[in-house]
Amino acid sequence: MNEQAELAVVGAGPAGIAAALAAAEAGVATVLLDAQGRPGGQYGRASAAADENVAQDGILRQLADSPVQVMTDTVVWGAFPTEDGAAWELALYGPRAPARLTARTLILATGAYDRPIAFPGWTLPGVMTAGGVQAFLKSQKIAPGRRFLLSGTGPLQVAVAARLVEAGAEVVAILEATRPGLRDVRRLLVLWGQWSRLAEGLDYWRALRAARVPFRLGWAVTEAHGAGAVEEAVICRLDGAGRPIAGSARTVAADTVAIGYGLLPSTELTRLLGCAHDFRPELGGYVPRRDAEMRTSRPGVFAVGDGAGIGGAELALIEGRIAGLAAARDLGRLSEAAAETAIKREQPGLARQRRFAALLSALFAPAAGLYALAHDDTVICRCEEVTLGIIRRAVADGAADVNEVKGLTRAGMGNCQGRVCGELIARIIAAETGRAGDPAAIQSAGCFTARPPIHPLPLETIARGASRQVGK
């Protein structure tokens, strides 16, 4: 079972949809794949109970009206060059998916997930990511708890808190771990022109003020406790390096702790394909190297959106469009001149959104101390239950990068394939070698080698799709 397409776009969030629409508009036969049941990604999550024929907003409406073939509930678990090297083969898994899809060109728009931060008790039921809380609110229209304590950095928490209040949940406090100083005021000039974002922020702010939700700068959750699930959390004031200040600890009753410390890009497919990656902490870590048209180092493979570097939905739309246009030109559906003109039109917006993303990243990067809250008996690799103490011993025994730690401890070998513990372990290695928070040390600790399948699968799926031996 092998389907063919000119262009396969992986991920139907803002970036993927924009790419698919731009390419399809030029006449490219485009398939858009997503693991979820409907397009939209995390940003565009609609209520699961929405009426079928309710007019959808913007790009979702355009997608529904376009010739793009949308394949939902489809996991892309591998990506390989075809035997003749002229195209790409995607390995698929899903109730309606063929085993394989071959495409001449790939646009990867795989999105991002919340950055995990470890602390004693973080594995208790009731500790969730802010993005996860948001997913429940947007799709399921329920608050996944009753009494929420939010701890993290950046504006997402404020948005989540406002939605929680709207949903009737109690928000005990919003703890912002950073404490922007006066030098950051100059940076805020980047906000000039971002009127809709500022307006949105103001709306959230007003809602939270009306609900009297406490907002604290320079505080964070440092522990969670409870019998079987979260019942209370310890919060501390932080110093300039993100470390808890002795004596400042207070205990707060809560049944849900939502941690929101930024996002990490999902780069499993770009790494699996052997694209060159650079370590860019401001973009979330290792990200694929790209040119001005969003091409990776592998011919015919583009990468866009948060999956290629954290930058937000507006930037994702623009990057997606640029890649879609470039792909259309590559496939002979757009003239050089038409593509160049269209791509040039996107440049001012691209620059503006990148500046905004850089601002957020600079203001809200979690300080090094937030990566050092765990105790020796705190589980770091949640899947394999590997504690900080075991990882420390592995580093002391000579493990110099995350793959060596994995080999010695099993950390990273579980179901999530190291998505949750990868960055944490890289930072532990840096800290244990006396270079806590040093980007060069974190970079050299590397990331887990990406191997197919990039999601756990039933064995029969792999067996069913195997039609030939993939040679060296």
Contact residues for other proteins (CB under 8 A)? 35-37, 42, 47-49, 51-54, 113-114, 116, 123-129, 131-136, 139-140, 142, 144-145, 228-229, 266, 379, 382-383, 385, 414-416, 419-420, 456
Rounded Cα distance between 26 and 343, Å, is: 13
Rounded Cα distance between 27 and 470, Å, is: 32
Strand partners for 259: 129, 151
Q: Are 429 and 405 in contact (CB under 8 A)?
A: yes
- The one-character DSSP state at 140 is I
CA 460 to chain centre: 29
Shorter beta-carbon distance to other proteins: residue 24 or 35: 35
Shorter beta-carbon distance to other proteins: residue 35 or 107: 35
Write down the least CB distance from residue 389 to other proteins, Å. 14
Strand partners for 368: none
- 1 exposure class (CB count in 10 Å sphere: 0-12, 13-18, 19+): exposed
Write down the least CB distance from residue 200 to other proteins, Å. 22
Write down the least CB distance from residue 153 to other proteins, Å. 17
Q: Provide the token pair at 300.
A: 């015919």
Shorter beta-carbon distance to other proteins: residue 31 or 383: 383
Shorter beta-carbon distance to other proteins: residue 127 or 294: 127
Shorter beta-carbon distance to other proteins: residue 258 or 343: 258
CA atoms within 13 A on the CB side of 119: 24
Length of the chain: 472
Write down the least CB distance from residue 346 to other proteins, Å. 28
DSSP for 395-421, please give it.
Answer: HHTT--SHHHHHHHH-TT-STTTTTTT
Shorter beta-carbon distance to other proteins: residue 41 or 324: 41
Write down the least CB distance from residue 181 to other proteins, Å. 32
Write down the least CB distance from residue 409 to other proteins, Å. 13
Shorter beta-carbon distance to other proteins: residue 238 or 373: 373
Phi and psi at 2, nearest 5°, equal: -135, 115
Phi and psi at 389, nearest 5°, equal: -60, -40
Q: Which amino acid is at 61?
A: R
| Rounded-to-10 torsion of CA 91, 97, 98, 104 | -60
Write down the least CB distance from residue 62 to other proteins, Å. 19
Shorter beta-carbon distance to other proteins: residue 154 or 422: 422
Q: Provide the token pair at 118.
A: 């470890």
Write down the least CB distance from residue 376 to other proteins, Å. 15
Write down the least CB distance from residue 423 to other proteins, Å. 13
Rounded Cα distance between 412 and 404, Å, is: 10
Shorter beta-carbon distance to other proteins: residue 64 or 202: 64
Which residues have C-beta within 8 Å of that of residue 440, sequence separation ≥ 6? none
Shorter beta-carbon distance to other proteins: residue 297 or 378: 378
Whether omega for the bond prior to residue 453 falls within 30 degrees of 0, making it cis, is yes
SS3 (DSSP) at 350: helix
Q: Provide the token pair at 2.
A: 């092998």
Write down the least CB distance from residue 133 to other proteins, Å. 7
